[in-house]
Amino acid sequence: MEKRVYVWEFPVRLTHWVNFLSILALSITGFYIGAPFLHAIRENQFIMAQMRFIHFVSAYVFTVSFLIRIYWLFMGNQYSRLNQFIFVSGERWKNLIDTALFYAFLKKDLPHSPGHTGIAGLTYFIMFLIFLLEIFTGFALYSESHLPGFIWTFMGGWLFSIMGTGTVRLIHHLLMWVIGVFTIVHVYVSWHNDVIEKNGLMSSIFSGYKSIEE
Amino acid sequence: MAKIAIDPITRIEGHLRIEAQVEGGKVTDAWSSGTMWRGIEIILKGRDPRECWALTSRI
Amino acid sequence: MSKIKDDTSSIWTSLAKKGVSRRDFIKFCSTMAATLALPSSFVPRIVEALEKKQRPYAVWLEFQDCAGDSESMLRATKPTIAEVVLDVISLEYHETIMAGSGKSAEKALQDVVKNQKGKYIAIVEGAIPTKDGGIYCTIGGKTALDIAKEVCGNAAMSLAVGSCASWGGIASAKPNPTGAVGVGAAVPGITYVNLPGCPMNVENVTATVVHYLTFGSLPALDGEHRPLFAHGKIIHNNCERRAHFDAGQFVRKWGDEGHRLGWCLYEMGCKGPEAHFNCPTIRWNGGTSWPVQAGHPCFACASTNNWDAFGPIYSRLENVPGAGYQTTADKIGATVAAVAAAGVAAHAVIRAAKGTPHKEEKE
């Protein structure tokens, strides 16, 4: 018998899609800022200014989405809690190993759990840290255009006390590629697991529901 | 016989030390040394060739 | 160079003796207020300070340098008075321009250090090597490190002029063969100001000295001991080509139409967005020009570690540590993404071939 389980709550799905859209905007505009691939042909164009504007607005949206998801780590249902990403039980580690072995074609079946697999949990934890670093490096670079002030130091300027501007920019640029690689793998694994489990996984990030074996 | 040393030589760019051995009012031997080194040739290695002018002009 | 005597004439009286008019003197004081980012209400205080204060003694030390900062000082032309002020600051020792040499030069330096202890200004140009006992720069048989410790240690304040004296400059560029450092790092505990630039901008140095004479203190400094009036803002925000940047009009090749029209040099590697300096405002050689105005990108010559931290001068992106200068972050990122995509495709093929785990058909 299969029953429908409400796995991904509304804030989880909302922040997921806001992240996707804002990261898409941030990546395209961010890439342009680093390497302008369009050039103005008329005097009254403002391509770079518009790209930067979209980048900054998207950055704020992304930051808010990130913070909401952090809040939900402590307020959400069992599938969205902190312990799904920072493992406190051996069972999560076992899930990670079993899942990895399955992906490597060394095990016949995927361990069944309605929520995130162990690999997903660990990966998303690392991605949280990467997002946080992108936010800090981004606001650090943004703060260079502003007068010194505690808010800018707090949001990223503190990085300049341990590394130079060039390094901050390099990290900000490289992490965009890391997020890009993650996206490729993330979409593939989600698709792959939906085919394996046949439980409506791909639709669950829209509806929130998965069909689980009883 | 006396040995004199003039260090620093002034009104030049850079650092120079001149020593001379004087015997009977005549200079019989002399030495010069540049007393500063930065290693710009070593610093140039591995860099983008297009920017070398910027470093060597600071010699 | 004048011998040390009890010279009580102020800067204004010395200037007047040299034929500078009162009007030009006031104009100079106004220019200094502007450079220091002070409102014009401060001009009378500057005037009063330069009228009354005694000419301070100064010594100019050169270590691992190219004498570029000395050259910058000698180019002070706008107004002519800046040059005169520096001349009038009783500069008792300067190896590139002083008359004496050898022992008489060293005696001139020692006279100031002993007789004006705690009262003179030490101006330092060039980096200080620390490797192998500091042997890579010696003057009169003493290492630069020892000279700096003695002269800066006994000064009222030290001005580290130029990037080399501020943070090591070109001598400290990778791999820093001589262990070169700036004055602040070589002589801990002294009162000092960093006035980086490759070379320094003499207007900023003059303004710092005027500030010290007027207020008896150093101007507000940033986290790297640089005056905020010169290093508080990034070049990008005051650049005259900023409108072209915002529009998306970039020079792509040297001498192309954009270059001739004065478009933004961002794609040619301009480090204006990273550099904190006031070049677009006060410019160089008496306000004549500055690199971007002349058509060459900024390479952040005043910023700490600029030779290594920002990537090559003509590259938009920084170097990835460990990769050669032609491997940019984008090349690495794109390669990794392509490998990931290929890996994912391969996995999909193998999965399709192996089939999915058997699942019971539901009734």
Tell me which chain A residue has its CA closest to the CA of residue C320.
Answer: A170
When CB atoms are compared, the residue of A2, A46, A167 closest to C246 is: A46
Distance from CA of A184 to the nearest CA of C (A): 7
pLDDT score of C88: 61
Measured CA to CA, the distance from residue C165 to residue C63 in angstroms comes to: 8
Take residue A49 and report the two structure tokens written for it: 């200014």
Burial of C107 from C-beta contacts in 10 A (0-12 / 13-18 / 19+): exposed
Residue C198 sits at the chain B interface (C-beta within 8 Å):
yes
Q: Which residue has the tokens 């660990």?
A: A122
When CB atoms are compared, the residue of C273, C329, C356 closest to A173 is: C329
Measured CA to CA, the distance from residue A162 to residue C172 in angstroms comes to: 19
Phi, psi of C280 (to 5 degrees): -65, -25
When CB atoms are compared, the residue of C249, C337, C356 closest to A181 is: C337
Tell me which chain C residue has its CA closest to the CA of residue A170.
Answer: C318
Q: How confident is the model at residue A69 (pLDDT cuts 50, 70, 90)?
A: very high
pLDDT score of C79: 47
Q: Which residues have C-beta within 8 Å of that of residue A38, sequence separation ≥ 6? A: A32, A47, C248
Q: Which residues of B touch C177 (CB under 8 A)?
A: 38-39, 42-43
Residue A84 has pLDDT above 80, yes or no: yes
pLDDT score of C294: 96
Q: Do B8 and C100 touch (CB under 8 A)?
A: no
Predicted structure pTM score = 0.85
The sign one gets for the Cα dihedral A63, A68, A72, A75 is positive
In the DSSP assignment, the letter for residue C184 is: H
Phi, psi of C127 (to 5 degrees): -85, 165
Question: How large is the average pLDDT for residues A86-115?
Answer: 87
When CB atoms are compared, the residue of C136, C173, C315 closest to B37 is: C136
pLDDT score of C359: 54
Q: Amino acid letter at C183?
A: V
Distance from CA of C133 to the nearest CA of B (A): 13
Length of chain A (residues): 214
Residue C362 has pLDDT above 70, yes or no: no
CA atoms in the 13 A half-sphere facing the CB of B54? 23
Q: Do A39 and C250 touch (CB under 8 A)?
A: yes
Distance from CA of C189 to the nearest CA of A (A): 20
pLDDT score of C80: 56
Take residue A124 and report the two structure tokens written for it: 């998303």
8 A C-beta contact, residue C249 and residue C241: no
When CB atoms are compared, the residue of B10, B12, B35 closest to C100 is: B10
Q: Which residues have C-beta within 8 Å of that of residue A148, sequence separation ≥ 6? A: A157, C222
The neighbours of chain C, by the rule of 3 or more Cβ pairs under 8 Å, are A, B
Residue C2 has pLDDT above 60, yes or no: no
Measured CA to CA, the distance from residue C210 to residue C33 in angstroms comes to: 9
Percent of residues, chain B, with pLDDT higher than 90: 92
pLDDT score of C86: 59
pLDDT score of B3: 92
Take residue C272 and report the two structure tokens written for it: 């204006």
Question: How large is the average pLDDT for residues A192-214?
Answer: 87
Distance from CA of A175 to the nearest CA of C (A): 9
Summary mean pLDDT of chain C: 87
Q: Tens digit of pLDDT for each residue in A113-145? A: 888 988 999 999 999 999 999 999 999 999 888
Q: Which of A183-197, C83-97, C339-353 has the weakest average pLDDT?
A: C83-97
- In order of their start, the domains of chain A are 2-209 (1.20.950.20)
Q: Tens digit of pLDDT for each residue in C102-112? A: 888 898 899 88
Question: How large is the average pLDDT for residues B39-55?
Answer: 94
Q: Do B10 and C99 touch (CB under 8 A)?
A: yes
Beta bridge partners of C311: none
Q: Which of C13-22, C134-143, C232-241, C256-265 has the weakest average pLDDT?
A: C13-22
Measured CA to CA, the distance from residue A5 to residue A8 in angstroms comes to: 9
Measured CA to CA, the distance from residue C14 to residue C9 in angstroms comes to: 6
8 A C-beta contact, residue A2 and residue C362: yes
Percent of residues, chain A, with pLDDT higher than 90: 50
Residue C153 sits at the chain B interface (C-beta within 8 Å):
no
Q: How confident is the model at residue C81 (pLDDT cuts 50, 70, 90)?
A: low
pLDDT score of A83: 86
Distance from CA of A99 to the nearest CA of C (A): 14
Burial of A103 from C-beta contacts in 10 A (0-12 / 13-18 / 19+): middle
CA atoms in the 13 A half-sphere facing the CB of A148? 10
Q: Which residues of B touch C178 (CB under 8 A)?
A: 37-39
> Going by DSSP bridges, is the β-strand pair A209-213/C58-62 parallel, antiparallel, or unpaired?
unpaired
Q: Tens digit of pLDDT for each residue in C124-158? A: 999 999 999 999 999 999 999 999 999 999 999 99
Measured CA to CA, the distance from residue A170 to residue A177 in angstroms comes to: 11
Length of chain B (residues): 59
Is residue C140 left, alpha or beta, with left meaning phi > 0 and alpha meaning psi from -120 to 50?
left
Q: Do C332 and A173 touch (CB under 8 A)?
A: no
The sign one gets for the Cα dihedral C69, C73, C79, C81 is positive
Q: Do C309 and A165 touch (CB under 8 A)?
A: yes
Q: Which residues of A touch C223 (CB under 8 A)?
A: 160-161
Q: Which residues of C touch A199 (CB under 8 A)?
A: none
Q: Tens digit of pLDDT for each residue in C35-62? A: 888 888 999 988 888 888 777 888 999 9
pLDDT: is C35 or C300 the higher one?
Answer: C300
pLDDT score of A153: 87
Percent of residues, chain C, with pLDDT higher than 90: 51
pLDDT: is A106 or C277 the higher one?
Answer: C277
Residue C188 sits at the chain B interface (C-beta within 8 Å):
no
Take residue A140 and report the two structure tokens written for it: 């650090």
Summary mean pLDDT of chain A: 90
Q: Do C66 and B13 touch (CB under 8 A)?
A: yes
Residue C248 sits at the chain B interface (C-beta within 8 Å):
no
Q: Do C177 and B9 touch (CB under 8 A)?
A: no
pLDDT score of C104: 87
Residue C33 has pLDDT above 80, yes or no: yes
Q: Tens digit of pLDDT for each residue in A10-47? A: 999 999 999 999 999 999 999 999 888 888 877 788 89
Other Cβ atoms closer than 10 A to C229: 20
pLDDT score of C363: 41
Q: Do C105 and B8 touch (CB under 8 A)?
A: yes
Chains B, A in contact, 3 or more Cβ pairs below 8 Å: no
Q: Which residue has the tokens 């705690």?
A: C118
Measured CA to CA, the distance from residue A165 to residue A163 in angstroms comes to: 7
Q: Which residues have C-beta within 8 Å of that of residue A206, sequence separation ≥ 6? A: A13
ipTM metric: 0.93
pLDDT score of C319: 73
Q: How confident is the model at residue C361 (pLDDT cuts 50, 70, 90)?
A: very low
User: Which chain B residues have any C-beta within 8 angstroms of a chain C C-beta?
Assistant: 5-15, 17, 35-40, 42-43, 46-48, 50-51, 54-55, 58-59
pLDDT score of B19: 95
